[in-house]
Structure 1
């Protein structure tokens, strides 16, 4: 993670913990924009009303509806006390911010009386004194745009929050499935170890006791018995080696694992989540076995998962597979999307897993920001020729 991204992440975290500071900071540029025209040649009363109209914005997110009515009422009171000024954006800009806040944070039913409170007086004033259709259309359009903007931002934030929650839920489910798989594997190992070790050791102990008992009276019989003990031990050792070999092999004795033929389905699932994924294949894979296909699959899966988590559902990604004689190259790049934080190159379980899988096939993996372009790049090269796999 670059220092700039780290600083931006910290700043966003601080602002998220102190939203009132953000709203107080909003008042300053708002007053700078509306103040020059509103306060030109104004007296103390106008300055006081100007400050009172802007002050409730500081609490806009905590109490959006009361803040709107406070701003709206104070704006009308200011107009009655110091007169209405047609220059500039005061108090329309402050009222618009309050309306947006209601549309963004409050229940939608709260918008109905607010729209009526703004539109009805404008309708009466501009029709009775004119009519001024252009002015009425401007007010109506500005009000509609403000309301729609707040609703749109609210809907989008809710959608992104749902995606984040879904990602967290999938991670929890994945961890639970991993724990279940570990428990099942431990149970299977326990059964195998019992069958191999306990049985053969019991036989060996019994034979050794018999050999010890007959050693004095019948040395030849004791020697034959010890040969049987040795044979039993060698058989047990061979079975133990086979069990350990099965444990080292990917997917041995378990549900069939995904491979190269599952990449299309993986890409489609990521596309369904919103990421625009393109998949290109150069060459034809060799007869490398299920373990090789699983390694490539897991690398692509982890890279696309990081794209979805860190770049957001609107990112674009390109997966390119290049098959050569005895080797495969896997490259996944994304355009960054809405990425505000990059996955750590070291220390993350996903990238560590990719490194372990490529190292098992005599290869290596690199992951980091793209050079000269926004986004992230993962590149892995695996060798499947004789002696490459560890």
Structure 2
């Protein structure tokens, strides 16, 4: 079997369509395109020179006979061509100048290729001016076109054909102007839509960043606030226990250390979500700790035990058949109980009694945290000053989980926080979770 001969691949540049993908213009054309692209004044100068050459070029069949180049012919043709240089700056004015020049030339029975500038001016008026200006331009051209039909020798014997030709030329110029205007409007609409989409994208990104910051702020507030409240309560009690009961004092300081380590672990887990950790950290255990699950309903008892160590008497009751709850709802319940216990420690002190209850009734779940206030010196909760950001965070957490939270004084002189969550949220809420 003979060796396989590989056929040469076809030259894509040779088969590509001019102006299409894969086609490269020759270098001189590329340089010329660079010079004129985006420079409308240069383009109009080039257009005017081209029309002037067309108007002054020898007529077919006359050879080198230049007798047609009369002063009137040369001046009118030059005015018609060079006026195109300013057609974009003053479309209607330039149109009137070109129309007058053409009319003078036609009245003398002459016609040149530079008459093309009149159709270019009709296009320009359509493109850059209003419909009212276009109507005025067409109306002003009607008498001049009649002069062309009855005075120019080439169409004197074909009046109907001449009128039809002129009507078609004007209609084509107007149509091209309208198409260009519509296309420009579409491009502007697309550019505006793209700008709006970019602004909306930036706003969504900014809102996402703000929402993420608010979420981490709530987590940090709950973790640090509760842990510091427990540590403060233990430290205050430990000072008294060191002299009265040294053994109990050592236990209190041990509890302070345990609470501090737990708070530090929670902070590491929360802050670890702000950055990407390499896989090698698994060996040290830091990455595994940062990826630990967020606290839920099962961790409420441990939370209550830590709070009891600071002094308050805390009871916990859970009633009803609790279905499997989503992680977001469990985290919200845990943080609400945590913030409520923190507020009880801060405002009622370590000698208060707190009742924590989680009840499932029908299609709703109720979380209640109520304390009895301070037994040493009773201060009505309503006069205790500003509630701070804790209760606002409780309401916000409940709302994000699809529920609502309320807080206020109770009949026993303490404070009650109640949060209610639907167990069957609407379909759109499930998708958001």
Aligned mates of 1:125, 1:30 — CA distance in 2:
19
CA contact (8 A) 2:224 2:263 kept: yes
Partner of 2:113: 89
SS in 2 for 1:62: coil
State yes or no: 1:67 paired with 2:94: yes
State yes or no: 1:35 paired with 2:61: no
Bigger radius of gyration among the two: 2
Aligned mates of 2:258, 2:146 — CA distance in 1:
103
1:229 counterpart (252, 256, 281): 256
Q: Which runs of 5+ in 1 are unaligned?
A: 254-390
Partner of 1:158: 185
Distance 1:73 1:172, change over 3 A: same
The C-alpha deviation readout for 1:61-96, integer Å capped at 9, x for no partner, is 121111101111022223446x403xx5232x1111
Distance 1:33 1:124, change over 3 A: closer
Distance 1:204 1:133, change over 3 A: same
Distance 1:119 1:106, change over 3 A: same
SS in 2 for 1:84: coil
Q: Structure 2 matches for 1:1-390, cutoff 5 A?
A: 16=38, 19-37=40-58, 40-41=66-67, 42-80=69-107, 83-85=109-111, 89-91=113-115, 93-122=116-145, 126=149, 129-208=156-235, 210-211=237-238, 214-215=241-242, 218-244=245-271
Distance 1:80 1:14, change over 3 A: closer
The C-alpha deviation readout for 1:211-267, integer Å capped at 9, x for no partner, is 466446644223211221222123323433443466679xx99xxxxxxxxxxxxxx
Distance 1:174 1:14, change over 3 A: farther
Distance 1:138 1:101, change over 3 A: same
CA contact (8 A) 1:119 1:140 kept: no
Distance 1:79 1:132, change over 3 A: closer
Q: How far off its partner does 1:150 sit? A: 0.6
CA contact (8 A) 2:51 2:113 kept: no
SS in 2 for 1:147: helix
Moved more, 205-214 or 59-68: 205-214
Distance 1:220 1:33, change over 3 A: farther
Distance 1:40 1:109, change over 3 A: farther
CA contact (8 A) 1:68 1:98 kept: yes
CA contact (8 A) 2:52 2:82 kept: no
Aligned mates of 1:184, 1:120 — CA distance in 2:
70
The C-alpha deviation readout for 1:169-210, integer Å capped at 9, x for no partner, is 121122223223322322222222111112212322443455
Aligned residue pair count:
238
Q: How far off its partner does 1:119 sit? A: 4.1
SS in 2 for 1:199: helix
Aligned mates of 2:144, 2:121 — CA distance in 1:
18
Q: How far off its partner does 1:26 sit? A: 2.1
CA RMSD in angstroms, aligned pairs only:
3.5
Aligned mates of 1:121, 1:52 — CA distance in 2:
17
Q: How far off its partner does 1:59 sit? A: 1.5
Q: With structure 2 as the length reference, what TM-score do the two structures score?
A: 0.48
Q: How far off its partner does 1:130 sit? A: 4.1
Q: How far off its partner does 1:143 sit? A: 1.1
The C-alpha deviation readout for 1:331-384, integer Å capped at 9, x for no partner, is xxxxxxxxxxxxxxxxxxxxxxxxxxxxxxxxxxxxxxxxxxxxxxxxxxxxxx
